[in-house]
Amino acid sequence: TGEAAVYAYARRLLRSNLERYLTAGDRIRVTVILPEGRSLAQRTSNAAFGIVEGLSLLGTTGVSQPLSAPGQLNAYREELQAKSRTFDELVFCIGENGLDLAQKMGISPDRQIKVANWIGPLLVEAGLQKLKSILLFGYHGKAIKLAGGIFHTHHHLADGRAEILTAHCASLGVPSSVVGEIFASGTTQEALERLRKLDADTNGDWVGRVYGSLAATIDRRARAYIQKHSNIKVEVGSILFDRQRQIIVKSDMGVQIVDRICS
């Protein structure tokens, strides 16, 4: 939002501790200075929460959880920490349908982590837990945001799905008339069906090429995100499926991870 990251509880603490020194009618301006906050912030995962160029002032050891149910992120993080004590390769299920589909593919529920919209912070946690690899297993309409560097996927925060998909189509040479139709599509599923129609009309493989590019980009950007915010290298693979729970694409690393964890 551009405002200082001083949260409500911290503001109440400041007020209660300062008001006792004021008489009726007194007013003061309070400036909070955190020495070397910008450099210290580089040691944290604050950017994963949208807090940039400095530290946040919570007033407690709790974690701020905007745009999500109270305690949700902590619960997911605790589950990840627990499962990382048993497995060094885990599966992030993006979207409710991913849980059942992953199990049908032979992926044990013991390896699955439900992530909701908190993909960024949980990727960072995967790095902090020194996992070997993460498989991003998700509905393409949500997972596609990761290819654009959007790691908190709630639609109130950012969208960009049409722009991301259109950019990949254009860069790969999809006919301009079809690119325009894809950009104007109401949903990513509608855009996918338009690509499928193009394949049927031309005997081509535009779906494979475009979604292969998206999956490779998701892997690369997720790896970089973990490295940036945890200073740990974790391999990332991805598998995307459509509304009918049909697999659209598996990245190269996604195939390798599945082969290992399902063997």
Which tens digits make up the pLDDT trace of 93-109? 997 678 889 999 999 99
Establish how many alpha carbons lie within 13 A of residue 213's alpha carbon, considering only the half-sphere containing its beta carbon: 17
Q: What is the pLDDT of residue 66?
A: 45
In contact, 165 and 249? CB cutoff 8 Å: no
In this structure, are strands 112-114 and 235-241 parallel, antiparallel, or unpaired? unpaired
Question: Confidence class of residue 148 from pLDDT cuts 50, 70 and 90?
Answer: very high
Share of the chain above pLDDT 70, in %: 86
Q: In angstroms, what CA-CA distances link 38 with 33, 43, 72?
A: 11, 10, 28
In contact, 90 and 119? CB cutoff 8 Å: no
- For 63-72, 175-184, 253-262, which range has the lowest pLDDT when averaged over its residues? 63-72
Which tens digits make up the pLDDT trace of 69-128? 547 888 899 999 999 999 999 999 997 678 889 999 999 999 999 998 899 999 999 999
User: How much is the mean pLDDT over the chain?
Assistant: 88
Q: Which residues, 6+ apart, have CB-to-CB distance to 193 below 8 Å?
A: none
If you ran DSSP here, which 8-state letter would residue 88 be given? Answer: S
Enter the pTM of the model: 0.74
Q: Is 34 helix (H, G, I), strand (E, B) or coil?
A: coil
Among candidates 126, 118, 150, which has minimal Cα distance to 218?
A: 150
Residue 73 has phi, psi (to 5 degrees) of -60, -45
More confident residue, 65 or 196: 196
Q: What is the pLDDT of residue 10?
A: 78
Share of the chain above pLDDT 90, in %: 62
Give me 159's structure tokens: 């969208």
In angstroms, the CA 68 to CA 116 distance is 9
In the numeric block, the tokens 């109270």 are attached to 70
